[in-house]
Structure 1
Amino acid sequence: MARLELKSVSKAFGAASCAKGVSLAVEPGEIVAVFGPSGSGKTVLLRMIAGMFEPDGGDILVGGRSIVDAPPERRGIGMAFQNFALFPHMSARDNIASGLRATGAGDIAAKVAAMSRLLKIEHVLGHRPRELSNGQKQRTALARALIGNPEVLLLDDPLRNVDAKLRYEMRLELPSLLRRNAAAVLYVTQDYREAMAIADRIAVLINGRLVQVARPEEIYARPASVAVARLFGDPSINLSEVMPVAEQGRMTAAIAGTQIRLDADELPSNTRCWLGVRPDDVMVTRQGGDGAIPARTVAVTPIHERAVVLLRFADGSEWLAALAPEALEAGPDEDVFVRFAPNAALLFDHATGDRIGLPARRQAA
């Protein structure tokens, strides 16, 4: 198998720039999720690799060989689309076999049978797309992408159009299935949970630029910027403007008039920052004391196994806390105190939004 490498790849359509000097390498057998908001350039990036679009600048290499001038069928790339893109007049069997027939491969029937067993769709091989469920369509499209043993596999949000139950199941199944193929996998998604569950590394793309590439737990614990921090976590990260100061050998900052200790010895004093705390790290209690911020509960919303609490501080600013129901000591419209561990806080430069170095935090729950 071969390594996929992007070197300063750029693409624009008129005044709209979709890729701005993107550089990224994916090793054989590695799954890299390209994650970002809608319109950030994720699909355009995949289509340049596949040969549907030609980059304006930079290079794309597979196994150390440039493929920019190679036709799509000669790139050694498999691709599964968000909308499945199955041929409506063909059976599932013929859809899966279509790529093999185009390249003149042999023993097509045996290969289709083996791949369909692997993906558990052998019982619907004779059905046309209109007779398949979305889950069966998704597996058929994946089988078509995998069957030629491509060196590089591109998956464009393949689980977006399937139901929640199947999406959860495929998040568990896909990593082992993809690693069995040993291709370099680039997996586009707009779902941060999916990216964290499936990928070995996540490449965060915002406005056509890669802003952070790291392992999922690293991106959650140490996001490179406020923009990245906001993309990971539900509810989103709490942010407050602070001016940390050094006092008696320790760093503190005031939130709604309450001084909070921070684990940030390297931070220059009197620097305007954004302080971020994830709702999972916020504790709501009736006990006051040092570092306890007075607040009032505005609303309590049960979400799955957690209760999300909207809190309002004395200065009018609001935070969210995500708690296990048994840990919630108050209902709506009650006076409480908010706490968080010093190492749960993230600090970001107020002007640039870039993260300021902090001790490692816990991994995502």
Structure 2
Amino acid sequence: MSPQPDLLHSEEEEALRAAVRDLLTDRCDPAGVIARTESATAHDVSLWKALSDSMGLAGLLIPEELGGQGASHRETAVVLEELGRAVAPVPYLTSAVVATEALLSCRADELLTELASATVIAVLAVGLHVAPGGDFGRVRVENGALHGELTGIADAAVADVLLVPADDGGLYAVGAAEVTVTPQVSLDLTRPVARVTLDGVSGRRLGDAEPAVRRALRAGAGLLASEQLGLADRLLTDTVRHLKERRQFNRQVGGFQALKHRLARLWLEVAGLRAAARNAADALATGADTDVAVAVAQAYAAQVAVHAAEEALQLHGGLGMTWEHPVHLYLKRAKADSIAYGAAGTHRQALAELVDLRAP
């Protein structure tokens, strides 16, 4: 019988949350994030350095003997929840989680050591939309060189190393300087995607692509729910604060019963997402019913995050429609996250198969 998941955070996890939130409060204000989306450098490299180098968060999932923190997915989920609250434009999910999991599967100790020391950013060259267990693009291997094109690769523009799956079944490490990275139009400007073109480049084979990609995408999908939780919880908090301060007809807008009902419904949805996200993180950490927990979290998370963003936009009134107000950042991130690592329908179908509730 599987042990009951622990959905409460420990004192150490709460201390980690406080430290990350303090850093983001100082270094990742909404006005700064909006300004970055208008510039040619969407990623905040200085913030990434502070998170990965100063706080050692890039190596949370990497064993201590390789220079990492040797922590679990629970601590990583705490970090992602706070990054979601700030819509932080850093490659944490793609490098410190997804690429790291692929490298752990391949036992690529040298690269893991570089990731832990924050000297390298790695990105798995699989489209952001691909679900765990789904079909992913592969490049051709011809005469020992890699040829092909991969699209929808999140954070490729800031990567130092790309982990590229090939048609010979291998996963190859390729230097970003050897490939052509072409930006693609993305709704979420805080997590840009790109097309990666390989034209006869060399790569170092790390291991088998299939199990590495499957493990990486499962961890990405499960911990993405924590990012979506942070986003939704921040939007709910900010919307409640705004409705307490905003007055209309000489009374608080939040005092109108219709708005109270909408906020109450949203609070229940966020509470449900909190349970699902923490359960997924705990399952990834313990290995208990992991596939089911990840599928449950992602089957539910997208609709809650998008609904929270839509309600925040509407309940902020005309203010919420302005570019200067950050709610549009959250709406775009929520919509982009809703198809990242598989849409909700894909995860529902996977869940039905896992618990043997297939459609007739």
* TM, length-normalised to structure 1: 0.24
User: Bigger radius of gyration, 1 or 2?
Assistant: 1
Higher strand share: 1
* TM, length-normalised to structure 2: 0.24
